[in-house]
């Protein structure tokens, strides 16, 4: 496996840039997250267009040019040690054709986010850099556990990431070791066939999603099937499936780990023998624990589940 590039660990007083690469965000939505960064001993530095609003069929945090300017500033500024996305939403696909990582490549830094930020993380991994798929600065309506943030700071401080979890009835036992990839399913699906898509060969794939009708979920899983993804991966982890199906018709609406969504996925991958984990605590859920995109992971699925990342 090609060795990936890990950013340096942070030290107290280091500066963390907060940017909005996708949807608009209000200052009140970031107050708690910004205070946590301060309480951990780091200095939050706000992007110029962090709170900008631009409406064009969706409420973006600025125009494409403004959002591109902010992310390129954060990526390349010599005094910035990490970049934390304010939120996801939609809009990161607008940026990747114009990203500049010339100085970033000389001094890599952690990029933290999830949801739409999967696009940025896939881009960075294509260039050889790992990132953190974890809670954004915005504390969402789901709430956020203290552990979700604490574990992210553990990574920033250079600690290895180790999970030991309970089994799920749909799990498939087995062991896998490989590079960890993935994120939001809708964005993994959206990048298929582009030069920014993840390379799935011999990888451990993670997915999570929110607000998709069941037929749309099936369509995305079928696209992965037709693209040969499930013939390539060594392990598969499914996280939160939140607010899936039709709000009026779906009795299990608003569950973090939607039972029917899980059943649908389990049926689609039933012919494959790789180890599978359902119910992993990451996604659009309260217990949103970080994962390392591009990190080398060891997955063991038995009566309990262990997932280890080495920094």
pLDDT digits (tens, 9 = 90+) for 13-24: 999 999 999 999
Question: Residue 204 — φ and ψ, nearest 5°?
Answer: -100, 115
Computed over every residue of the chain, the mean pLDDT equals 95
| Residue 142, pLDDT score | 72
| Residue 107, pLDDT score | 95
- The model carries a pTM of 0.95
| Residue 214, pLDDT score | 95
| Residue 139, pLDDT score | 84
Cα(112)–Cα(188) distance, integer angstroms? 17
| Residue 143, pLDDT score | 75
The residues, any chain, with a CB within 8 Å of residue 204's CB and separated by 6 or more, are 176, 178, 179, 180, 181, 233, 234, 235, 236, 237, 297, 299
Cα(300)–Cα(179) distance, integer angstroms? 14
Rounded average pLDDT per 10-residue block, the chain, 311 residues: 86 98 97 96 98 98 98 98 97 98 97 98 97 93 86 96 96 98 98 97 98 96 98 98 74 69 97 97 95 97 95 75
Task: Specify the 3-state DSSP secondary structure of 55.
Answer: strand
| DSSP class per residue in 177-190 | EEEEEEEEHHHHHH
Judge contact between 237 and 208, C-beta under 8 A.
no
Which tokens go with 253? 């609406």
**Domains parsed from the chain with CATH numbers:** 15-159 (3.40.50.10740), 162-309 (3.50.30.60)
Cα(305)–Cα(155) distance, integer angstroms? 20
Cα(247)–Cα(2) distance, integer angstroms? 44
Alpha carbon 305 to its chain's center: 20
The residues, any chain, with a CB within 8 Å of residue 271's CB and separated by 6 or more, are none
pLDDT digits (tens, 9 = 90+) for 113-158: 999 999 999 999 999 999 999 999 998 767 789 999 999 999 999 9
Cα(311)–Cα(307) distance, integer angstroms? 13
The residue among 17, 32, 31, 292 whose CA lies nearest residue 154 is 292
| Residue 310, pLDDT score | 83
Cα(190)–Cα(91) distance, integer angstroms? 12
| Residue 252, pLDDT score | 46
């Amino acid at each position: 496996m090609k060795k990936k590039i890990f950013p340096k660990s942070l030290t107290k007083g280091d500066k963390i840039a907060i940017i909005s690469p996708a949807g608009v965000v209000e200052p009140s939505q970031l107050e708690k997250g910004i205070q946590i960064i301060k309480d951990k001993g780091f200095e939050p530095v706000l992007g110029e267009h962090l709170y900008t609003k631009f409406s064009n069929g969706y409420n973006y945090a600025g125009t494409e040019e403004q959002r591109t300017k902010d992310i390129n500033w954060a990526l390349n500024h010599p005094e910035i040690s990490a970049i934390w996305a304010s939120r996801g939403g939609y809009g990161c696909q607008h940026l990747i054709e114009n990203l500049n990582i010339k100085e970033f490549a000389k001094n890599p830094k952690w990029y933290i986010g999830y949801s739409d930020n999967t696009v940025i993380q896939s881009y960075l991994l294509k260039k050889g850099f790992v990132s953190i798929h974890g809670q954004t600065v915005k504390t969402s309506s789901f709430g956020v556990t203290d552990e979700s943030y604490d574990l992210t700071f553990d990574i920033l401080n250079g600690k290895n990431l180790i999970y030991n979890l309970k089994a799920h009835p749909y799990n498939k036992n087995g062991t896998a070791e490989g590079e960890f990839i993935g994120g939001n399913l809708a964005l993994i699906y959206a990048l298929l066939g582009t030069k920014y898509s993840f390379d799935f060969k011999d990888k451990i794939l993670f997915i999570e999603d929110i607000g998709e009708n069941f037929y749309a979920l099936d369509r995305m899983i079928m696209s992965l099937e037709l693209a040969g993804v499930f013939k390539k991966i060594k392990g598969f982890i499914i996280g939160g499936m939140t607010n899936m199906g039709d709000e009026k018709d779906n009795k299990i609406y608003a569950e973090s780990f939607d039972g029917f969504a899980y059943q649908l996925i389990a049926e689609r991958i039933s012919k494959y023998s790789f180890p599978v984990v359902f119910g992993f605590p990451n996604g659009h859920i309260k217990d949103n624990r970080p994962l390392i995109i591009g990190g080398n992971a060891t997955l063991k699925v038995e009566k309990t589940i262990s997932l280890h990342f080495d920094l």
